[in-house]
C-alpha cells in the first residue's frame, strides 16, 4: 500500500518527507547522524538553540549533538526521566530555561530523547511566545516510529493521558538508529508494539515481514531496524498528510490506544510502558473485532503470537476491573458527544473507527 517516496541521501541515510504544503519537513534515518551539522543548519533560523533532554539521554548523546551546533549559542535543559514527569511542573522547567536565557522567537528547540521529551519539547515550542521552531531527535524506537512524526505534542493530566497539548509540526526529524544500542530490552519491545501497529492498520505485507523478522529487530539488527523504521515512518507520514489533525483517517493510528491509555492512567504513568499498554490494547481491539464478526480467530491468534514473540503483554493488568476501564475510556479523546469510538479491524492490514459495536461484547473483553 505504501506509495511514499524514499530517497537515499547517502549510502547510510534515507530521507522521507512529510508533505504538508508550506509545513513540509524531512525525516532522516541512518547511522551516526547526531553530530552532522548539515542535517541541522537548514532548519535553524536564528543563532540560539535550546536542547531539551533528560537525565538519562543527556549524558549519552548531548555532546554529539553539540558537536553539530558549534556555530550556535546552545543552552540545555535537563528534565527528569519518566512518563510520570510528563506534566505542567516539568513543562515549566523548559519555559523557565527559555526565559532565564532570554530566548526569542528565533530560537530553535531540539528535542533529544524519547516520546516524553519530544512531546513536552514540542508543546513548549508550540506555546513559547506563541510558537517557535523545533527539531525532533528521537532516541527510542517508539519515538522514532511514532511520536516524533506527525506533530502531536502534549502533557498528561491525572484524569487522562495526553489531554493537554497541540498539533505542532517539527521542522525536521533526525533518527539515528545507533541510539537504540543503549536502549533497555523492554523499551525496544515497547517500540516494536507501535511498529506492529502499522502492519495491523494499513500494511498487511509488512505484518508478514514482521512475523518473520521481529527477532532481528529485538536483536537490533541494523538492516531490520532501518527497514522497520522507514516503513513505519512512511506509513505514518502518508496518514498524516491525508488527515493532519485527526478529523478522520488519522484516528486509525490509535489502534489499541483507548484501552492502553486507560491502563496507563489506572496503573500510574510509568508503571506500564506506553508500548506495553498499547500491545495489550491491540489484543483487546482484535478480540472485540472478532466478537463482532469482523476479524477471524486465526488473525487474532497471529496478533497474539507476534506480540508474545516481541516480549509484550497480551492481557491487561491483573485486577483492573471492567468499571475502571469504562470510567477511564469515557474521557478518551475519541469520545465524541458522549459516544465512545474505537479503532477496530476487519482484517490484518485494515483498521477502521466505529461506535457500532455491542456494549455486551465490549464488556466481555473488559471483564477478562
Q: State the catalytic residues.
A: 130, 152, 194, 236, 246, 250, 254, 257, 261, 274
Return d(Cα 182, Cα 163) in angstroms, integer.
30
Residue 190: phi and psi, rounded to 5, are: -60, -40
The answer to whether the beta carbons of residues 54 and 117 sit under 8 Å apart is yes
Helix (H) or strand (E) holding 48: strand 48-54
Edge-to-edge strand list for the sheet holding 133-138 = 7-10, 13-18, 25-30, 172-176, 133-138, 108-113, 48-54, 73-79
State the DSSP code for 307.
H
Pairing of strands 48-54, 73-79: parallel
What is the distance between the alpha carbons of residues 90 and 206, in angstroms, rounded to a whole number? 38
From 161, 164, 194, select the one nearest 269 (Cα to Cα).
Answer: 161
Instruction: Spell out where 80-199 has E strands.
Output: 108-113, 133-138, 152-157, 160-167, 172-176
Which residues lie below 8 Å from residue 103, measured CB to CB, with a gap of 6+?
48, 50, 75, 128, 132
Which residues make beta-bridge pairs with 50? Answer: 75, 109
**Measured between alpha carbons, how far is residue 16 from residues 78, 224, 229, 232 in Å?**
30, 17, 11, 11
In angstroms, the CA 194 to CA 199 distance is: 9
Closest listed residue to residue 141, CA positions, set 102, 185, 172: 185
Nearest to 334 by CA among 351, 353, 350: 353
Amino acid at each position: 500500500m505504501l506509495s511514499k517516496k524514499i530517497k537515499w541521501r547517502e549510502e547510510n541515510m534515507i530521507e522521507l518527507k512529510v508533505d504538508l504544503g508550506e509545513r513540509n519537513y524531512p525525516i532522516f534515518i541512518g547511522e551516526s547522524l547526531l553530530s552532522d551539522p548539515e542535517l541541522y543548519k537548514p532548519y535553524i533560523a536564528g543563532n540560539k538553540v535550546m536542547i531539551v533532554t533528560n537525565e538519562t539521554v543527556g549524558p549519552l548523546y548531548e555532546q554529539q549533538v553539540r558537536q553539530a551546533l558549534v556555530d550556535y549559542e546552545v543552552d540545555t535543559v535537563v528534565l527528569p526521566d519518566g512518563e510520570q514527569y510528563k506534566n505542567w511542573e516539568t513543562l515549566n522547567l523548559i519555559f523557565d530555561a527559555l526565559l532565564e536565557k532570554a530566548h526569542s522567537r528565533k530560537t530553535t528547540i531540539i528535542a533529544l530523547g524519547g516520546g516524553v521529551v519530544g512531546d513536552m519539547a514540542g508543546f513548549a515550542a508550540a506555546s513559547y511566545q506563541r510558537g517557535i521552531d523545533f527539531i525532533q531527535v528521537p532516541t527510542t524506537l517508539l519515538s522514532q516510529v511514532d511520536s516524533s512524526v506527525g506533530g502531536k505534542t502534549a502533557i498528561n493530566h491525572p484524569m487522562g493521558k495526553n489531554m493537554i497539548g497541540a498539533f505542532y509540526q517539527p521542522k525536521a526529524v533526525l533518527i539515528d538508529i545507533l541510539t537504540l544500542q543503549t536502549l533497555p530490552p523492554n523499551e525496544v519491545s515497547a517500540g516494536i508494539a507501535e511498529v506492529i501497529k502499522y502492519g495491523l492498520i494499513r500494511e498487511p505485507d509488512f505484518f508478514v515481514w514482521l512475523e518473520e523478522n521481529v527477532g532481528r529487530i529485538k536483536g537490533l539488527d541494523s538492516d531490520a531496524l532501518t527497514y522497520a523504521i522507514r516503513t513505519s515512518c512512511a506509513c505514518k507520514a502518508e496518514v498524516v498528510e491525508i488527515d493532519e489533525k485527526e478529523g478522520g483517517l488519522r484516528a486509525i493510528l490509535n489502534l489499541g490506544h483507548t484501552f492502553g491509555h486507560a491502563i496507563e492512567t489506572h496503573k500510574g504513568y510509568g508503571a506500564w510502558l506506553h508500548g506495553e499498554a498499547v500491545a495489550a490494547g491491540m489484543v483487546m481491539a482484535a478480540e472485540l473485532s472478532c466478537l463482532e464478526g469482523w476479524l477471524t480467530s486465526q488473525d487474532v491468534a497471529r496478533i497474539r503470537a507476534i506480540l508474545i514473540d516481541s516480549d509484550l503483554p497480551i492481557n491487561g493488568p491483573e485486577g483492573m476491573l471492567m468499571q475502571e476501564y469504562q470510567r477511564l475510556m469515557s474521557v478518551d479523546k475519541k469520545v465524541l458527544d458522549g459516544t465512545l469510538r474505537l479503532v477496530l479491524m476487519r482484517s490484518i492490514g485494515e483498521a477502521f473507527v466505529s461506535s457500532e459495536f455491542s456494549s455486551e461484547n465490549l464488556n466481555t473483553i473488559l471483564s477478562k
